[in-house]
Amino acid sequence: MNKPTLVAQATLAFFAVASHAWAASGSAALTGTVTDTTGRPIANATVNLQNASGASINRSRTEATGHFTIGDVAPGTYAVVVTAAGFASGASIATAQSDTPVTVSVQLQKSDTLDVQVNAKRLDQARNGLLPETGSSVYRFTQADINTLPAGENTPLNQVLLQAPGVANDSFGQLHVRGDHANLQYRINGIIIPEPISGFGQALDTRIIDQVNLLTGALPAQYGYRTAGVVDIRTKSGDAGNGGSLDVFGGSHQTIKTSADVFGSQGPFSYYLAGSLGMNNLGIENPTAGANAIHDHTRQGDAFGYLSYLINPLTRVSVLFGTTSNQFEIPNTPGLPTNFTLNGNSTFDSSQLNETQSELNNFAAIALQGTNGGALDYQIALFTRYTRTRFNPDPVGDLLFNGVASEDFHSNSANGVQADTTWRLNDRHTVRAGLMFQQEHAVFNNSVDVFAVDENGNQTSDVPFGVQDNSSKTGYLYSLYAQDEWKVTDRLTLNYGLRYDRMDEYTTASQLSPRIGLVYTLTTTTTVHAGYARYFTPPAFELVSGSTISKFNGTTNQSPSSQNDPVQPERSHYFDIGVTQKLGPAVTVGLDAYYKKSTNLLDEGQFGSALIFTPFNYQYGRTYGIELTANYKQDNVSAYLNLAYSRAQGKQISSAQFNFDPDELAFINSHWVFLDHDQRVTASFGGAYDLGRTTFTFDGLVGSGLRSGFANTDRLPVYAQVNLGVIQHFNQPLIGKFDARVLVINAFNRVYELRDGSGIGVGAPQYGPHFAVYAGVTKYF
């Protein structure tokens, strides 16, 4: 007997006695319709009317319209069980009363669709099993968590990740995890997506996420190169059925954004497609304390697709692709004095500067993934990425203020292959191994207008001249890893392995890195994890330029010094230990501590006129901290709190020294200094309360301030921001399901400064957002 019939009969058993108590002697007619999940009628389906004991008392068949009729039904409660060729059976409960017609509707799912869903879920589990987490710290965001944020899926990805512990906020959408500058690896459905050139916009849209995990700490051997954190994104798909949504969002700063997604399946083929277009007048943080920035318009658009085809129940091929195109005006600060003279003129209104930057990021991957249903899982992927950034100066204004007007074009293309396998030797040992190869080609075309200067840096001519500074480079990354996840006991799991990495880029280097992590279930409510990892982190190839600094000797773009040692990969030892404790069914708390000792610690700064970052090394580095997390979830109430303490320091600049003022360089060479992104205390918090169809939600950030001043010897004041939101869920006749939301950003309007323009590798000041109001409507199909 199938499951729908069992459920129907169990329900009948409950209603049987009550139905006979009021039943009259007259009979009734039972009518109904049978459709598939898309609403199409199913013809020639068998309709079986069963009583409380499961006995069939009448039958019928559906017409071409899906309609059926069964007459002379005695008063009582019955099961209407429907079967049709090519469909899974379905059932409905019908209660007949004397001389009163009864109408039911039954929806059937195609049996092959059910098989596709089961097979897709099996392959999803196999793919996720390729990515171990033993010994590392993991913070998870589900699609429901994201939807509950005040801005929902319109929350930029960086702001979602800011709700995780140990993630510090910075200007230009930057994130710093556990005291590292960027150094984040992004994976989509297990495939590494090479990083784009750093810019102002986000390369990935939050809308595509079904679940995202942020892995930090001592990572297993699976993960390399970018190791401060792994952003593991599992996208939405069309495996579960057909549907979509349309979203309109807008408000303060002339913000308007329209987004849509659609998903579905047809036999073994499934798809998910999403895209958005938007614009506003606060694309980059305001360099002044005012509510509205000057010259800060932005246009942003993105698209994403995920296609999957089941070759057989144990094998599928998938394709994912995405594109992001952003254009930004660079905001202005009024009232600035000019520093140079151009063709006899030395006046210019700084509020009228017209600098812009455009960014493009395209990526795609094709993967073959499979399992034998037991011992072996694998995924082999080919990936590609092209990214470019163009900075357009104000030719007159930049020369008058900076003495340099540089049109900078940077592009980078990356192509590679990634293979990951899992082999379950037995109940105790799971062996994983894999490889990755990546080729990159970077192009730097810089057209720089400058003035001539004397040996003291004084302008000797007010007529500018151009210097063309072009370069290109091809680089390679190689990696291999192998590891064993060993269930030592039912309580203790140990993951140990080795990873080999090699880079052939501006420098050639390699490293063999041991990794070990363990998870120990101390009690049913207490779990301890610990780990050690040796890390090898190459500099961001797309940011390392082959520029010739001597070209600018005797000009307003001359470097403070001629020393330019090549940027080296960072090598570090990383230790992590933590404990998670459940305090009853509703509360979970966690405590985690880490320490990293580095050689050639990597950092990045903005040293040129373009807002593009440049890597450099500290010869020595040390980073350590502690994190506290707490989560509460019970019935219609949820809340979280994350609190982190961190220290990140470096000593002795060992590469790209020409970017630094001699006094600052000498001080750093003899003193431990704080990194510019060091923030002593970082906190994030939030919660939601469901009242009927209404959700009240909030989130917030608190920071003790990033570093500033000469050699980062000072820091900015403490800041805080709280966002509030109300979401109303509707399900109206004819219209169907839709959500409406209103949110307030920086509800208490605490004006704060993220950067003041001082510090190592820091350009202009940037302020956090002022009080702003937005609203959105999302229609589900």
pLDDT tens digits for 694-721? 999 999 999 999 999 999 999 999 999 9
In this prediction, residues 416-423 reach a mean pLDDT of: 96
Residue 607 has pLDDT above 90, yes or no: no
What CATH topology corresponds to 3-109? Answer: Immunoglobulin-like (2.60.40)
DSSP designation for 189: T
Measured distance CA(197)–CA(613) in Å, rounded: 9
Confidence of residue 23 (pLDDT cuts 50, 70, 90): very low
- Do 136-780 and 3-109 have the same topology in CATH? no
346 touches 329 (CB < 8 A): no
pLDDT tens sequence across 111-129: 655 566 666 666 777 777 7
DSSP per-residue codes, 462-477: SS-EEEEEEEEEEEEE
Measured distance CA(590)–CA(169) in Å, rounded: 22
CB count in 10 Å sphere of residue 635: 8
CB hemisphere CA count around 594 (13 angstroms): 35
What CATH topology corresponds to 136-780? Answer: Maltoporin; Chain A (2.40.170)
For residue 553, the SS3 value is coil
Compute the mean pLDDT over every residue in the chain, rounded to the nearest whole number. Answer: 90
Measured distance CA(712)–CA(741) in Å, rounded: 41
Q: State which H helix or E strand residue 619 sits in.
A: strand 614-634
DSSP designation for 112: H
Residue 11 has pLDDT above 60, yes or no: no
CA terminus-to-terminus distance, the chain: 34
Strands 184-188, 229-235: parallel, antiparallel or unpaired by DSSP? Answer: parallel
Measured distance CA(114)–CA(122) in Å, rounded: 12
* Higher pLDDT among residues 497 and 610, named by residue: 497
Q: Kindly report the CA angle at 464 between 463 and 465, in degrees rounded to 5? A: 125
Where in 236-280 does DSSP place strands (E)? 243-251, 255-266, 269-280
Q: Where are the domains of the chain?
A: 3-109, 136-780
Confidence of residue 10 (pLDDT cuts 50, 70, 90): very low
pLDDT of residue 76: 84
In this prediction, residues 243-270 reach a mean pLDDT of: 96
For residue 284, the SS3 value is coil
pLDDT of residue 195: 78
Q: How far, CA to CA in Å, does 277 sit from each of 68, 150, 364, 780?
A: 48, 20, 20, 18
Measured distance CA(536)–CA(510) in Å, rounded: 8
CB count in 10 Å sphere of residue 485: 22
The residue whose two tokens read 């209103």 is: 742
